[in-house]
């Protein structure tokens, strides 16, 4: 089969199409013929050599995929059959023609949804669901500040906060992105480039601050985050786009508010944890993606690139141009060579 690949860490120009062995499903695994995958920040970090896959995972990029069941390994429990339309949470390997997946990490694709739309769900929506429910223990009526609100995780989190009957507010870097977040359900949005979001958050919450912060930025936001975090609030860090260094008396400020810091990564979680997460999401959120559901959850696809143009997709994400998910379509036929 063919897969997007790189031999040496570096820029998008290092990506190329490589012919590799088609994987075979092991015990309790399902072979999926991939129709679409999607791009995540983790793919960019892995390409740069800064985020290696977990031990035992495929070194091919791609943390999510949508396609059809093409094979079943020994020990599968009969939930899936050949030809089923599925979407998958992966530790790697999604940007290829085939990928193997533990059967418990698969979800059915709603009948009125395309593979392109489905590919935009697993990593972003399961990350947001995990942060809000498994880590943050979100409660009805709480206010949640979502940084990078127009990202894939951000747009998912807005809708999931609404589903939990809580109040989402966001930060983003352009008015166009703030408009998109408002359309997705954000109650308020602040442009971090030209206003102090912590002051705006305190104004919106009438001085009480937010109950939960979903933070993928890290170090440079610590003071503003603590300024607008409520007493007993939960600050959840799941990325470090600005780095991890903190200069200042963070612990004293945190203690004064009786606040807590949680950190979370999904990719490195064990198989059983991911199965619990997929099961909970399938039961509690997936039904709301179907037509007629109220409220209706919708993945936001920013753009679609064929796999042989994945380098261009990487450049778009690196420049923060996307609103929602960048999806990678996997054609049936490929040509070898650089992906320029």
Residue environment code for 49-67, b if the CB has 16+ CB neighbours within 10 A, otherwise e: eeeebeeeebebbbbbbbb
For residue range 213-263, what is the model confidence (pLDDT) as tens digits?
Answer: 999 988 888 889 999 999 999 999 999 877 788 888 889 989 999 999 999
d(CA 235, CA 177): 23
For residue range 81-111, what is the model confidence (pLDDT) as tens digits?
Answer: 999 999 999 999 999 999 999 999 999 999 8
Q: Residue 234: which of 136, 323, 314 has the closest Cα?
A: 136
Confidence of residue 334 (pLDDT cuts 50, 70, 90): low
d(CA 184, CA 69): 32
Q: In angstroms, how far is CA 189 from the centroid of its own chain?
A: 20
d(CA 41, CA 113): 24
Helix, strand or coil for residue 110? coil
Radius of gyration of the chain from its Cα atoms, rounded to whole angstroms: 20
Domains of the chain are: 2-120+299-329 (3.90.180.10), 124-263 (3.40.50.720)
For residue range 67-86, what is the model confidence (pLDDT) as tens digits?
Answer: 999 999 999 998 999 999 99
More confident residue, 292 or 114: 114
**149-174: average pLDDT:** 96
Instruction: Concatenate the DSSP letters of all residues of 310-333 into one string.
Output: HHHHHHHHHTT--SSEEEEE--SS
Q: Record the pTM.
A: 0.93
The conformational region for residue 132 under phi > 0 = left, psi -120 to 50 = alpha, else beta, is alpha
Bridge partners (DSSP) of residue 234 are 212, 260
**195-217: average pLDDT:** 96
Q: Where are the beta strands (DSSP E) in 219-275?
A: 229-237, 260-263
Phi, psi of 3 (to 5 degrees): -145, 150
Six token digits for residue 187: 């109650």
Q: Residue 162: which of 180, 176, 182 has the closest Cα?
A: 182
Q: Alpha helix locations (H) across the chain? A: 41-47, 115-119, 122-129, 152-163, 175-184, 197-204, 222-228, 250-256, 271-284, 310-318
């Amino acid at each position: 089969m063919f897969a997007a690949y790189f031999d040496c860490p570096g820029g998008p120009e290092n990506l190329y199409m490589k012919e590799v062995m088609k994987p075979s499903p092991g015990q309790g695994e399902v072979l999926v013929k991939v129709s679409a995958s999607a791009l995540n920040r983790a793919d960019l970090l892995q390409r740069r050599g800064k985020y290696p896959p977990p031990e035992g995972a495929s070194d091919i990029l791609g943390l999510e995929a949508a396609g059809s069941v093409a094979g079943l390994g020994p020990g599968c429990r009969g939930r899936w059959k050949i030809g089923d339309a599925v979407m998958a949470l992966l530790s790697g390997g999604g940007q290829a023609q085939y990928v193997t997946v533990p059967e418990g990490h698969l979800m059915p694709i709603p009948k009125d949804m395309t593979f392109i739309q489905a590919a935009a769900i697993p990593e972003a929506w399961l990350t947001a669901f995990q942060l809000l429910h498994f880590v943050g223990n979100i409660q009805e009526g709480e206010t949640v500040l979502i940084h990078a609100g127009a990202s894939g995780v951000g747009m998912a989190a807005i809708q999931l906060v609404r589903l939990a009957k809580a109040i989402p507010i966001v930060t983003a870097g352009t008015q166009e992105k703030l408009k998109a977040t408002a359309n997705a359900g954000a109650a308020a949005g602040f442009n971090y480039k030209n206003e102090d979001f912590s002051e705006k958050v305190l104004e919106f919450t009438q001085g009480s601050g937010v109950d939960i912060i979903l933070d993928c930025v890290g170090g440079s936001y610590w003071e503003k985050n603590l300024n607008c975090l409520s007493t007993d609030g939960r600050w959840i860090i799941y990325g470090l786009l600005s780095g991890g260094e903190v200069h200042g008396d963070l612990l004293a400020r945190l203690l004064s508010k009786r606040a807590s810091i949680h950190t979370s990564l999904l990719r490195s979680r064990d198989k059983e944890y991911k199965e619990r997460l997929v099961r909970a999401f399938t039961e509690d959120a997936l039904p709301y993606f179907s037509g007629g559901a109220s409220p209706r959850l919708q993945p936001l696809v920013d753009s679609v690139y064929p796999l042989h143009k994945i380098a261009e997709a990487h450049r778009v994400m690196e420049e923060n141009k996307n609103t929602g998910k960048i999806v990678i379509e996997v054609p049936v036929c490929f040509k070898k060579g650089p992906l320029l």
